[in-house]
A = this chain, B = another copy of it.
Amino acid sequence: MSLRHALLGLLADRTASGYDLLKLFDSSLANVWPATQSQIYAELNKLADGGLIKVVAEGPRGRKQYALTEEGLTELRRWLTETEPQPNVRSEVLLRVFFLGVLSREQSEAYLAGLATRFAEEENALRELERGIEWDESDLSLYGRIALEYGLRFNAMRHEWAEWAAAQVK
């Protein structure tokens, strides 16, 4: 379960409430590890119970500001250095490609061409996103940029692949 480590990672940078974290997930982690509000609040309570994070301040409207504890930081480092990431494996797009045989060649080609367009659009959206972010000299900026570069290269690759695939089908 990576959600707990995602929360620890965000709290390693700065303290935050569940509500803050929810927005962080929607902005910076939306394309990496999406999470819903129910999941986040539930996990925060578990982490607090387990002593990996703690409430450092209570604000208006029942706001609870969480901070990472020593144990939490240790656990985050342990996760990074001592556990293997499980390869990201499910791809609905690829699954569909597998079964294009049930459509006509024309339909398949159109499908793949549509994918190419979509990927190009996503690449552009990421470039927009990149421009909208104020990068500084922090670690989060450095690694955030590296993650974003991954997204850019990923979409460029998929774009080219889809065009190549459409040509193959033809």
| A interface with B by C-beta (< 8 Å) | 2, 5-6, 9, 12-13, 28-34, 73, 76-77, 79-81, 85-103, 107-108, 111, 122, 138-140, 142-147, 149-150, 153-154, 157-158, 160-161, 164-165, 168-169
Contacts and interface: CB of A to CB of B under 8 A. Distances in A.
Contacts of A154: 154, 157
B34 A90 contact: yes
A149 B169 contact: no
A130 to B, nearest CB: 15
| Copies of this protein in the complex | 2
Identify the interface centre among A29, A77, A108, A143: most chain B CB within 10 Å of its CB.
A143
B73 A147 contact: no
Q: Does more than half of chain A's interface fall in helix, strand or loop, or is it mixed?
A: helix
A6 B6 CA distance: 30
Contact of A98 (B9, B90, B95): B9
B12 A89 contact: no
A99 B5 CA distance: 9
Contact of A143 (B76, B85, B97): B97
13 contacts: A6-B95, A9-B102, A13-B101, A30-B89, A31-B89, A33-B90, A33-B95, A34-B89, A34-B90, A77-B102, A88-B90, A101-B138, A154-B157
Given A32-B91, A90-B32, A97 B146 contact: yes
A149 to B, nearest CB: 7
A119 to B, nearest CB: 10
Given A12-B102, A161-B150, A164-B149, A94 B140 contact: no
A94 B92 CA distance: 19
